[in-house]
């Protein structure tokens, strides 16, 4: 082997030996970066949440606070959105809900959860431009109104997860039901047989599609 080839071989070996420790250091530096998203969501104490599915009926915004590794308390404020059937009925009012989320996997905001909840809603419904009550009611009514207050008891179940590229965002899907208990009801501008009736208590299905910001 000539002296030039021996020098070239020594140079290549030296280069490879120098690269091996550097690659190990780079991997060690990348490992904390990969763990950072999970660590960030694991230490988050607060969430602000919007339920996209709920916006079809109500604008809503919820604040959640971690109580323990498995339990989170959530307070939701709502007001009617009138995005559906607004030409027939216009709704105004407000609602408030208190919910407790139990994540049995102990991952705070992530994984499967069950969530019992309590709520109170006060609404006023007014017939919209798409309905002409005078055409149906012989008393010549031009506008029908109804004021209702009700309490609700419900149970939700769902799953929440985070995206590695956006560790502060938590997405969720859920399904459940609630039992609405009417506490008071007033009607005006309606015929007698409707005026004396009652919408009564009822069970209502619930769907949930949430996006949350955690910090």
Mean pLDDT by groups of 10 residues along the chain of 215 residues: 55 53 48 53 87 93 93 96 77 94 85 96 78 51 77 96 85 96 76 50 93 93
Contacts of residue 79, defined as CB under 8 A and 6 or more positions apart, other chains included, come to 58, 59, 92, 93, 94, 95
Q: What angle do CA 77, 83, 84 make, to 5 degrees?
A: 115
pTM: 0.71
State the pLDDT at residue 107. 79
Q: From CA 157, how far away is CA 111, in angstroms rounded? A: 11
State the pLDDT at residue 53. 94
State the pLDDT at residue 168. 87
User: For residues 126 and 143, is the Cβ–Cβ distance under 8 A?
Assistant: yes
């Amino acid at each position: 082997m000539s002296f030039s080839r021996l020098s070239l071989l020594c140079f290549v070996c030296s280069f490879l030996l120098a690269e091996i420790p550097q690659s190990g250091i780079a991997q060690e530096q990348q490992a904390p970066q990969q763990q950072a998203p999970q660590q960030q969501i694991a230490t988050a104490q607060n969430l602000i949440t919007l339920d996209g599915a709920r916006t079809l009926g109500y604008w809503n915004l919820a604040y959640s606070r971690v109580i323990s590794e498995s339990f989170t308390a959530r307070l939701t404020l709502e007001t009617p959105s009138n995005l559906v059937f607004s030409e027939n009925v216009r709704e105004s009012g407000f609602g408030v809900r208190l919910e407790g989320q139990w994540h049995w996997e102990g991952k705070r905001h992530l994984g499967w959860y069950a969530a019992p909840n309590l709520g109170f809603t006060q609404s006023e419904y007014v017939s919209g431009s798409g309905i002409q009550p005078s055409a149906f009611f012989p008393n010549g009514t031009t506008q029908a109104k109804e004021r209702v207050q009700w309490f609700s008891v419900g149970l939700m179940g769902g799953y929440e997860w985070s995206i590695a590229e956006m560790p502060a965002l938590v997405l969720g899907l859920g399904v459940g039901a609630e039992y609405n208990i009417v506490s008071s009801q007033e009607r005006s501008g309606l015929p007698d047989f409707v005026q004396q009736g009652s919408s009564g208590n009822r069970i209502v299905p619930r769907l949930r599609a949430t996006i949350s910001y955690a910090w």
